[in-house]
Amino acid sequence: WRAHDGLVLSLSWSAQSNIIASGGEDFRFKIWDAQGASLYSSAAEEYAITSVAFNPEKDLLLVGTFNMLKLCHSTGWCYNSERFTAPSVGSFHTLAWSADGTQVACGTATGQLIMGYAVEQQLYSRNLNASSTSRKSIALQDIANGSRDVLEFPQRVINFALGYGHLVVATTHQLHIYNEKYINTPIIIDGRNDVRVIEVGKKHFMVLDATSIWVYSYTGRLHLNPRYPGSHAQLPLLNWRSLSLGLDVLAIRDNSETTLLHLFDLIPGASRQYEPQSLRAKQPLAEIAACRAGSADDQFVAFIDSNRELYISETRNLNGGSANNGHNEIYKIGTQLTAIKWASETNILVGVHDSCYSIWYCPGEGASDPTIIALTTVTLDTAEFGKHVDIDSFEDAVITFRCAGALLPVNINIYCEVLHRTLQEGQGQWQQALKICRLAQHTSLWATLAAVATRKHQLQISEDAYSAALQIDKVSYLQHLKTLTPSSPEQMAENSLMLGRMLEADTILLHNQKFQHAVGLALRMHNWKRALEIAQKHETAEPGLDLLQRVLEQRRKYLKALARDEWEPLYLSYAVKDESPSE
């Protein structure tokens, strides 16, 4: 494609985000996607752009022209520029970042070699602000009490992360773990070289270095060293988009088969610590995010695929077993997403579209029901933010967006955040949750409470919440559930069906030898193959029920209603034909 008016003097392809930067004689640098669509075009500089180079580990772009270097974000906006006029160094012809992305070597037209180091990277988390002040120091400021500490390190700082009251700093050969309450006594871990990614969680933090992936507790104890087939060979291809640390799960995208997601359990003693569960999507995965809060039974992973569609799946069922990775366990809840992030303390999800952002107040529990997703999703316009909006953080009830370098905080519905925190405290908080919903009187709160209560088998609370949300069909179904024997196989199967777990409902009925109900369930779902399979297999076990005859009779009625002849090969062998098809 035609990129510039004049010669293209430099090119760089980002390994982080798969975008291309070009510089030309028209005094501009431009950014393109892999298909050649224009993402950004800079204003005209004073001289031709002679060099561009993406940072290998961070979303940074370095641009070189005559006597000037510009450090930009990978979306185009400028962090800082540096001029070299006394003495003049000429045009920058070559730029080369170090492997860890912290240093850059610049070759000039006059034969000089200039070394640079990226500083003043800032991270925010609640009342804490961490900023790199030099190659070997970080300033940590507590806004709440006004204190400021300068942390000096014996080696060069490569990477650092801030969150949940902890600062984790990676130097060339060590990890330093600081607690905000005990700044002067850090925990030091030796032997971690070339740390590329650090992600902090509520209980653990994850480190990706040149040798493997490591999960540590904040006491410095190694918690998990996850491995899967081909993991060592894929290390150079992993980045923050293909890794996500949740509360009790670590999600890793397989780079040899990008539709595959490996889920490692972080609960001590869990079998999936070293034998991960695999989750397979239909399309290649572009970004993944595991939820950072909730209870051990309410853990979800969300991911954006190559078509920019958002899907969600639970990582385990309520009975503590691994989540089934069948087709029905992955639910689509959004489209055209560019970035997503979970809240730090609740299971609330935010996602950015091209010109708006959406907040899912109940993405996990309500994923199986499109009605609940519609009631609990709020979409707001971002026209005043500008283009290329990204999510910087989601702490408590405040989302911080970043656009063109500016941080833009936005509050979510505080009642929804309080409701989620209340429900996480334990089973005895249902009446308190009802009080919150009655105080706010908002449909999204009632729908959230209804979905969570249904998942926890609180039928009366669920019925009250669905009634307040005007979901009459679900109220009627819950009233039917209450007529069944409590904790009976029939009631458990119907409850699983309401949660969208058809395979689980089928398994419960068959395990308890409720073959007649299992056939009835398959017929209600119009799963004709499964109904015939159950009837054939268990006809001899229950000869008095005539399961096979019931299935064939329902099939005849179905064909008669459609006015069609039989087309299913399994039923053709039984000569199931419509006796009087309409013309």
The 3 state secondary structure assigned to 215-276 is: EEECCCCEEECCCCCCHHHHHHHCCCCCEEECCCEEEEECCCCCCEEEEEECCCCCHHHCCC
Q: What end-to-end distance do the CA atoms of the chain give, in Å?
A: 58
Quick: pLDDT tens for 59-108: 899 999 999 999 999 989 999 999 998 888 999 999 999 988 899 999 99
Q: Which residues pair with 217 in a beta bridge?
A: 204
Evaluated on CA atoms 543, 548, 553, 554, the torsion sign reads positive
d(CA 86, CA 494): 79
Residues in Cβ contact with 180 at an 8 Å cutoff, skipping those fewer than 6 apart: 128, 142, 165, 166, 167
* The pLDDT of residue 538 is above 90: no
| Predicted local confidence at residue 353, as pLDDT | 92
Q: CA-CA distance, 525 to 522, in Å (whole number)?
A: 5
Q: Is residue 366 over pLDDT 60? A: yes
Q: What are the CA-CA distances from residue 255 to residues 284, 286, 312, 337, 576 (Å)?
A: 10, 11, 20, 21, 49
Specify the pairing of strand 377-381 against strand 406-411. Answer: unpaired
Dihedral pair phi/psi, residue 185, rounded to 5°: -130, 75
| pLDDT at residue 581, rounded to an integer | 47
What pLDDT, in 10s, does the model give residues 139-162? 999 998 889 999 999 999 999 999
Helix/strand/coil for 183? strand
Task: Kindly tell me the burial class for residue 524, based on how many C-beta atoms sit within 10 Å of its own C-beta (0-12, 13-18, 19 or more).
Answer: exposed
306: helix, strand or coil: coil
* CB-based contact 155:164 (threshold 8 Å): no
pLDDT digits (tens, 9 = 90+) for 262-307: 999 888 765 556 678 889 999 999 999 999 998 888 899 999 999 9
- pLDDT, position 543: 63
Per-residue model confidence (pLDDT) at position 387: 80
CA 513 from centre of chain:
39
Overall average pLDDT of the 556-580 stretch:
74
CATH topology for the 8-117 domain? Methylamine Dehydrogenase; Chain H (2.130.10)
For residue range 178-233, what is the model confidence (pLDDT) as tens digits? Answer: 999 889 899 999 988 889 999 999 999 999 998 899 999 999 999 999 999 888 89
pLDDT at 272: 53
What percent of the chain has pLDDT above 90?
A: 56
The per-residue pLDDT for 321 is 43
Contact of 113 with 106, CB cutoff 8 Å: yes
CB atoms closer than 10 angstroms to residue 101: 18
Transcribe 53-115 into DSSP letters: EE-SSSSEEEEEEBTEEEEEETTS-EEEEEE-BTTB--BEEEEEE-TTSSEEEEEETTS-EEE
Q: Are 466 and 372 within 8 A, CB to CB?
A: no
Q: In what order do the strands lie in the sheet with 331-334?
A: 285-290, 300-305, 310-314, 331-334
How many Cβ atoms sit within 10 Å of the Cβ of residue 393? 21
Of all residues in the chain, what percent are helix, strand and coil, respectively (each to 5)?
25, 35, 40
414-429: average pLDDT: 87
Alpha helices in 309-399 (DSSP H): 370-375
- Predicted confidence (pLDDT) at residue 323 exceeds the cutoff of 60: no
pLDDT greater at residue 509 or residue 501: 509
What's the DSSP call for residue 42? Answer: P
Confidence of residue 427 (pLDDT cuts 50, 70, 90): low
Q: Is the pLDDT of residue 582 over 80?
A: no
Record the tokens describing residue 163, joined without a space: 């969150």
8 A C-beta contact, residue 524 and residue 493: no
Residue 331 corresponds to which amino acid? Answer: Y
Say what the pTM is: 0.87
Mean pLDDT confidence for 519-536: 88
Residue 317 has pLDDT above 70, yes or no: no
Token pair belonging to 72: 């930009």
Percent of the chain residues topping a pLDDT of 70: 94
| Residue reference for tokens 């001590």 | 268
In 222-254, which positions are buried (b, 16+ CB within 10 angstroms) versus exposed (e)? ebbebebeebeebbeebbbbbbbbbbbbbbbbb
Residue 289, φ and ψ in degrees, nearest 5: -150, 120
pLDDT of residue 539: 76
Of 311, 315, 322, 317, residue with least CA distance to 300: 315
pLDDT of residue 319: 38
How many helices and strands in the chain, by DSSP H and E? 13, 38
- Report how far apart, in Å, the C-alpha atoms of 145 and of each of 128, 151, 165, 166, 180 are: 10, 18, 14, 17, 12
Q: Which amino acid is at 116?
A: G
Task: Give me the pLDDT at residue 434, please.
Answer: 94
Which residues in 119-203 belong to E strands, given as ranges? 122-125, 128-134, 137-142, 147-152, 157-163, 166-171, 174-179, 182-190, 197-200
The domain spans of the chain are: 8-117, 513-583
Position 325 scores a pLDDT of: 39
pLDDT at 109 over 90: yes
Average pLDDT over residues 543-553: 80
Average pLDDT over residues 332-344: 94
pLDDT band at 1 (very low <50, low <70, confident <90, very high): confident
Of 475, 412, 480, which is closest to residue 446 (Cα–Cα)? 475
| Residues paired with 360 in a beta bridge | 349, 377
Coil/strand/helix, residue 490: helix
CB atoms within 10 A of CB 309: 18
Q: Mean pLDDT, to the nearest integer, of 504-511? A: 88
Distances (CA, A) of 578 to 549, 556, 563, 583: 15, 6, 8, 12
- Give the model's pLDDT for residue 200: 96
Which two structure tokens, joined as six digits, stand for 230?
């081909």
Q: Give the pLDDT mean for 507-536.
A: 88
Is residue 8 very low, low, confident or very high in pLDDT (cuts 50, 70, 90)?
A: very high
Residue 124 has pLDDT above 50, yes or no: yes
Count of C-beta atoms within a 10 Å radius of residue 92: 27
